[in-house]
Amino acid sequence: MEQAAPDPERLLQPAPLEPLSHPDAGLESMVGEETKGARDEGPGDGTMTENNFSLKKIEISVSEAEKRTGRNAMNMQETYTAYLIETRSVEHSDGQSVLTDSLWRRYSEFELLRNYLLVYYPHIVVPPLPEKRAEFVWHKLSADNMDPDFVERRRIGLENFLLRVASHPILCRDKIFYLFLTQEGNWKETVNETGFQLKADSRLKALNATFRVKNPDKRFIELKHYSDELQSVISHLLRVRARVADRLYGVYKVHGNYGRVFSEWSAIEKEMGDGLQSAGHHMDVYASSIDDILEDEEHYADQLKEYLFYAEALRAVCRKHELTQYDLETAAQDLAAKKQQCEELATGTVRTFSLKGMTTKLFGQETPEQREARIKMLEEQIKEGEQQLKSKNLEGREFVKNAWADIERFKEQKNHDLKEALISYAVMQISMCKKGIQVWTNAKECFSKM
C-alpha cells in the first residue's frame, strides 16, 4: 500500500527536543546585538569576546562592484569582479563615533569564508552564497557572469549573505567573520592558519558513512528527504517562471505593433487621426513597460534561489550527523571487539574465527606471562575505549540538540521570508495587471473621442 508523502512542515520540527529560543535571523543590518540564549560557541580562540565585537552594532553593506584584471595562482591573466564591503559602527564601547571602514573582496574570498564556517559550525544551517553563474534565466537575460545586471544581482546576494551571518546568534561572534569585514591584508593567511581544511570531512568518508551507518536518526533522514524535495520544488518553480517571463515578454512587445499600426493609420485619417495617434502612444508605453517589470521579477527569483541553495546547507548538516553517528557506532564496535578478545584470552575459548586463533593453532599456545600482558593491555584499551565512546556519545547528543535548535530557527526564517516574497510577487503581478487595464482604459478613451 502506497504511503502518503511526509508533511514538509512537520519534518522540520524535532518532536523529542525542546527547541532553543532564537530570534528571527532575517535581514537585519546590525551585527553582534545581544541575543537571549545565544551561546558563545566557536572554534576555540576563533570566537570573539564581548570587549572587541559582540557588544558593538555594525552596519554592513556591499555598496559597489568593480571589474578588475590580475594574475591568478597559475600566474595567468584573468578578469574578475571585486566587491566593496563597507562597515560602520553605530554603537561604540567608548561612546565615540567611528568612521566607516571599507575593503574589497572577491567572490572566492566569500567562498573561503563560508567553507570555514561550514567546517567549524557543522550543526548550523550556514547561509548560502548567491550563484556564481546565472541559472534559470529567460532568453533575454544574459548568462554571462560579467554581465552588469548579473553582477548587480550578485552584489545584492553577497550583501544578503553577510547580513544573514551577521544576524545569526552564533556566527556573528566569530573572529574570522569579523576580520573578513575589517582586515583586508593577510585575511586569507589568517583563515588558513586555523587549519580548517584539515578538519574538513572528505566526500568519500561522508559517502561511506551514509551507506554504512546502521542506526540512522529518522529525523535526519526525513530532513534530508525534505531538502531534496524543497530543492526540486523550487527548481520547477524557477523553470516555470522563466518560461512565463519569455512568453510575457513576447506578448508585451507584440503590443508595440499596435502602436506602429495606429500611428500609420492616424496619418491617413483626419477626424480619427489624433485619437489613433494617442492610442498608439499608450500601446508603445505598454510594450516598453515589460523590461522594468521583468527586472523587478528577478529580485523575487533571487529570493527563491537563496532557498534553493539552502537545501544543500540542510543536507550538509545531515551528512555531518551521519558521520558523527558512524564514528559512534565504529567506536562501539571496536570496544565490543576488544571486550570479546579480552574475555576469550581470560577463558581460553575462541568464539569467532580470527587470524590470532589460527596462529595459536599453528605455532602453539602463548605463555601465561604473554597472555597476562595482553589481557592487561586490552583492559587499558577497553578503559580508553569506554571513555572515547562516552565522549562521542555526548558529542553526538550535543550535535543533535544544537542542530535541531538551529533548524527550528531556520524554519521560522524560511516561513517568514518565503511568505513575504510570494505575497510581494502576487502584489507585483496585480499591479502589472492594473497597469495593463489602465493602458486599455486610456486607449478606450482615445477611441471614444474620435
* pLDDT of 32: 42
Q: Buried b / exposed e across 330-342, counting CB within 10 Å, b at 16+?
A: ebbeebeebbebb
CA of residue 201 relative to chain centroid, distance: 18
More confident residue, 184 or 417: 417
CA-to-CA distance for 331 and 203, rounded, in angstroms?
A: 21
Per residue in 399-445, pLDDT (tens digit) is 999 999 999 999 999 999 999 999 999 999 999 999 999 999 999 99
* pLDDT of 294: 87
CA-to-CA distance for 257 and 266, rounded, in angstroms?
A: 14
Identity of the highest mean pLDDT range in 77-91, 281-295, 305-319: 305-319
Q: Which residues pair with 61 in a beta bridge?
A: 86
Which range, of 142-151, 184-193, 299-308, 354-363, averages the lowest pLDDT?
A: 354-363
Rounded to 5°, the CA angle 112-113-114 comes to 95
User: Could you tell me the pLDDT band of residue 375, with boundaries at 50, 70 and 90?
Assistant: confident
The predicted model gives 235-242 an average pLDDT of 91
Per residue in 254-305, pLDDT (tens digit) is 888 988 999 899 999 888 889 999 999 999 999 999 888 888 888 888 999 9
* pLDDT of 69: 82
CA-to-CA distance for 248 and 137, rounded, in angstroms?
A: 14
* pLDDT of 418: 93
175 CB-near residues (< 8 Å, 6+ apart): 42, 45, 46, 47, 48, 53
| CB-CB contact of 103 with 85 (8 Å) | yes
The grid coordinates listed for 272 are 480619427
Integer CA distances (angstroms), 415 to 169, 271, 300, 307, in order: 19, 58, 15, 11
| CB-CB contact of 90 with 59 (8 Å) | yes
Q: Is the per-residue pLDDT at 25 higher than 80?
A: no
Question: Quick one: angle between helices 175-182 and 107-120, nearest 10?
Answer: 170
Going along the chain from its start, the domains and CATH numbers come out as 202-349+369-449 (1.20.1270.60)
Per residue in 117-140, pLDDT (tens digit) is 999 999 999 999 998 877 766 566
Report the percent of the chain where pLDDT is more than 70.
76
